[in-house]
Amino acid sequence: MTTGLRDLGSPDLIVLFTSTVSHKMVQCALKGSDARIARSHSSSIAALRSILNEHAV
C-alpha cells in the first residue's frame, strides 16, 4: 500500500471514506503523506461535496 500512496505524487488533499477502506490503508495514508487528510464515514456524494466545500480554497 505504501508504494501506491507514493504513486499519487504530491496531492493537496486525500479524501478517505473510512467505511469503505481498510484500517491498514487509513493508517498508511496518515503516516505516508504530508497532504491534508479528510475522513468521512459516509461514502455519499453529499459527504464528498461537504469535504470539498470545506477544503476548497
- If 0-12 CB within 10 Å is exposed, 13-18 middle and 19+ buried, where does residue 45 land? exposed
Domain range annotation of the chain: 2-55
According to the model, what pLDDT value does residue 6 have?
A: 61
The pLDDT tens digits for 2-56 are 565 566 677 888 888 877 677 777 777 777 677 888 888 888 999 999 999 998 8
pTM above 0.75, yes or no: no
